[in-house]
Structure 1
Amino acid sequence: MFEKILIANRGEIALRIHRACREMGIRTVAIHSTADADAMHVRLADEAICIGPPAPAKSYLNAHAILSAATISNAEAIHPGYGFLSENADFAQMVEEHGFVFIGPSPDHIRLMGDKIVARTTAKEAGLPVVPGSPGAVESLAEAGTIAAAIGYPVLVKASAGGGGRGMRVADTADDLQTAFEQARKEAENSFGNPEVYIEKYLRTPRHIEVQILADAHGNVVHLGERDCSLQRRHQKFLEEAPSPALNDVQRAEIGRIAADAARKIGYRSLGTMEFLYENGEFYFIEMNTRLQVEHPVTEMISGLDLVREMIRVAAGAPLGFAQEDIRFTGHSIECRINAENPVTFLPCPGRVGDYHAPGGLGVRVDSALYAGYTVPPYYDSMIAKLIVYGTNRNECLMRLRRALEEFVIDGLETTIPLHQRLLAEPDFINGEYDNRWLERFVGGQ
């Protein structure tokens, strides 16, 4: 097992990784920008190294600075967390070439699944169902028109190198296609340096269902159940739950088996998440995330497994300590992403935290790096906390979540806690009857 791990991230996920390492007896190295000198993970790590100014490009995205920090601290491995360089195949390769272990999948698998067109083709060959669409990149408007007419409108024009909702445009009719095609290509070029796009059928009322898989280097692969991530705004997840209220036991067992089989066929290693759209009883693969997910705690709550610990063990070469039949899912879990944003306008609201009180009690977990007096910087993602609640069933989980949200105090800046409280009063959400566009409709009516 590793003796020292460098955590190449910040905020709550850096703290989450530090805690797992501490419980495994592993020393940690925190990296930070000048804006994060007082961050909680910096205070708690065994060592801390400043790698640059606030701008991510000069700090958390600076591969050379991170590798230098790993070298001078004598770290053996680097955990990238999520975001930043976590799905950057070139960075993973640099880590390995410099003699460190990258705690994640191989650079080849990151590269393979990072290109949406290649991932789609690979998934189809591995036996996963995919959304009807173009077989590869679409080079011209004329080609786009031919494909769209064949699969039927509406269609979605998507960036091949996309993510986070960028480089995506919907064309409801043939008249909309030119604008959607040109805008998606332009945004893809600006955001990812790659204008390549492809086309797939646009599903109007799907659910977003993802399956967590875990694979070691010895050919063992398991799935850890599904998560429902359908509550999204502008393709950004807002609330996640496990298991999905939309699936029955037969469906969840089947999609779990399919996802695990696909990971086994491509020789995948580490944690990974297969993402699907689900509509009218059918699943359609859309992408694979080759990293730890923000919403991993809900899977931990219903499975009893520490996913960060398992990820580290696999990276160290250890085999999985359990088989699929050993995994038991119990109860229900919901995660609320708490952002430093105005709950109506969604404008970021960085600032200094005054009074801070995290809710507690049975079945309540808060993953956050906040503390009273901490200043939330304006340079990074606005998510400042995750409230995760567990109950023996979904109704108990909802009641506990209402209570926990009432207890949560983050003074000094605006947060999305009031919006989560509004959601919990909505019959559609209470009944589990929502889709990917439900939240957009809901907040649009404010």
Structure 2
Amino acid sequence: MARHRILIANRGEIAIRIMQACEELGIDTVVVYTKEDQDSEHVQKVIRKSPDKAYRIASYKDPNEIFSVCDQAKCTAIHPGYGFFSENFRFARRATLRNRPITFIGPRWEVIRDLGSKINTKRVAKTLKIPVIPGSYAPIYNEIEAEALAEELFFLQKEQGIQHPSVLVKASAGGGGMGIEEVRELDAFRQAYRRIQNYARRQFGDEGVLIEQALRDYHHLEVQILCSKHGEYVHFGTRNCTIQSTGRQKRIEIAPGFDPDTISYPFDAKKVLNEIVEYSLRLAKHVKYDNVGTWEWIVTRDGKPYLLEVNTRIQVENGISARISRVKKIGQPNLIKEQIRCALGEKIGYNQNHISFEGTSIELRIVAEDTKRGFAPWCGTITTLKFPSYDWAEVHTHVPTSRPYKIPTEYDPNLALVIIWGQNTNEAIQRAKEFIDNTQIEGVGPKGEPIITNLSYLRERLDASLRFE
């Protein structure tokens, strides 16, 4: 591999994981941070070792600052992590086409552009005979047209005997559960449409809106794919991320996506898992996808899969896919390392026949939030953070364990990601509960009130992870 220096254009635990992956690959890194993040471990780890490789910036969302640091630090590539610029095709295009090109660690900008649009993804999927959710196949900019489609979707649901029909209004350029509103009455549609259109205009510069039937009683699944610039395509199985907050933010993920050996499903679960993997690879090959990506699916109680969207980036939960995967002569893969290798032009070097799967893995997203008050974020200072040590668990956190840490109010109060592995689903769930029971988190709020976390919620929801309730 040619000599590279990568700017990590992100924060928190993902910045640390990218740093570690680069270190294992022998690649030099540079980090950026804001004033609010100066006490984060992703910053302090670098400052303690090489302070000249940590650059303070005003915002993670200012592309001019990011590129300026790239030039100043003589970086050859940018890793966007997830969020921020990770699915911004304009940022990726600018990196590629500027006078001093910088490699964007992700797919080609054209692919990010094309798959970043839910409308275009649906349109392409439909031509490939991949099932998609009933609704619009082109962005809607006209309120009257949108309301007419919504009325038709309400009518069709009533004809199907659905007692409580509803539609989803989505920003067509959105992703990650953002820019979505459910409408249960046609009379409320116009206001919801206007809110989402305004949100889409502010966030994405495109006020196109997607109208879809709101499906009920489903599971949210994912397929983890890795591709290279050399026409190689492999997958690392499926995940289930049905346990989410009221704002559609994932809280528990589990791989594989279903477990028919342990749980009885009203459909052929193995067949459905194979179908969504095949569909995902079909679309990836059609668009000549060339990096890591996640294909998101809805699977209804009767076993019908529908493509939801494609996330053209590394996912928070990539670690559980890696944890159940075994690559011949390599062992357990690191998908962040694989992403970096492929972005820098290397071949994957193995094919699907070299990949096997073993056991069940669970990711717990530990967050300072009040799950009984709509997952409201908790603000304050962490005074104690202690995790148990097991060979079947790994913890990723940017929160220091040796000193107090004030949670920045500017960002989500995520505290840690915990990845659990078991020989089977029941063992993985019991181990996850054991881990939660032996985790100690203490803190105080602005008025001296004790910290609130989602640990109890996570423990209570574990048994429902793979089941249709």
Query: What's the TM-score once normalised by structure 2's chain length?
Result: 0.86
Change (3 A) 1:71 1:126: farther
CA contact (8 A) 2:258 2:273 kept: no
Q: Distance in 2 between matches of 1:171 and 1:246?
A: 33
**Cross-structure match for 1:113:** 115
Deviation at 1:254, TM superposition (A): 2.5
Deviation at 1:102, TM superposition (A): 0.7
For 1:10-409, list aligned pairs within 5 A: 10-45=11-46, 46=50, 47-53=52-58, 59-96=59-96, 97=98, 98-151=100-153, 152-153=156-157, 154-233=166-245, 234-245=247-258, 248-279=269-300, 280-303=302-325, 304-345=332-373, 346-371=375-400, 372-373=402-403, 374-409=405-440
Q: Distance in 2 between matches of 1:141 and 1:366?
A: 47
Alpha-carbon displacement from aligned partner over 1:343-366 (angstroms, at most 9, x marks no partner): 422222233221221222121111
Is there any run of 5+ residues in structure 1 with no aligned partner, and where? 54-58, 436-446
Alpha-carbon displacement from aligned partner over 1:248-301 (angstroms, at most 9, x marks no partner): 333222221221121011111100111111112111111100000011111011
Q: Distance in 2 between matches of 1:60 and 1:337?
A: 22
CA contact (8 A) 2:22 2:29 kept: yes
Q: Distance in 1 between matches of 2:362 and 2:255?
A: 7
The alignment's C-alpha RMSD in Å is 1.9
Alpha-carbon displacement from aligned partner over 1:89-137 (angstroms, at most 9, x marks no partner): 1111222223211110111111111122122212223442111112212
Give the SS at the match of 2:357: coil
Show structure 1 runs of 4+ deviating over 6 A. none
How many corresponding residue pairs? 426
Q: Distance in 1 between matches of 2:192 and 2:408?
A: 35
Change (3 A) 1:156 1:246: farther
Deviation at 1:246, TM superposition (A): 6.0
Q: Distance in 2 between matches of 1:177 and 1:86?
A: 31
Give the SS at the match of 2:173: strand
Give the counterpart letter for 1:147 in structure 2.
L
Give the counterpart letter for 1:241 in structure 2.
I
Pair 1:417-2:455 in alignment = yes
Give the counterpart letter for 1:44 in structure 2.
K
Alpha-carbon displacement from aligned partner over 1:349-408 (angstroms, at most 9, x marks no partner): 233221221222121111111113232211112212111100000000011101101121
Is there any run of 5+ residues in structure 2 with no aligned partner, and where? 158-165, 261-268, 326-331, 444-450
Change (3 A) 1:171 1:35: closer
Give the SS at the match of 2:350: coil
**Cross-structure match for 1:443:** none
Change (3 A) 1:111 1:265: same
Give the counterpart letter for 2:348 in structure 1.
L
Give the counterpart letter for 2:206 in structure 1.
N
Give the SS at the match of 2:60: coil
Q: Distance in 1 between matches of 2:90 and 2:181?
A: 28
Alpha-carbon displacement from aligned partner over 1:199-221 (angstroms, at most 9, x marks no partner): 11210111111111110001111
Give the SS at the match of 1:161: coil
Query: What's the TM-score once normalised by structure 1's chain length?
Result: 0.90
Give the counterpart letter for 1:414 in structure 2.
I
Change (3 A) 1:63 1:190: closer
Deviation at 1:73, TM superposition (A): 1.5
Q: Distance in 1 between matches of 2:434 and 2:277?
A: 32
Change (3 A) 1:246 1:156: farther
Give the counterpart letter for 1:380 in structure 2.
Y
Q: What is the identity percentage for the equivalent residue pairs of Structure 1 and Structure 2? A: 37
Give the counterpart letter for 2:220 in structure 1.
H
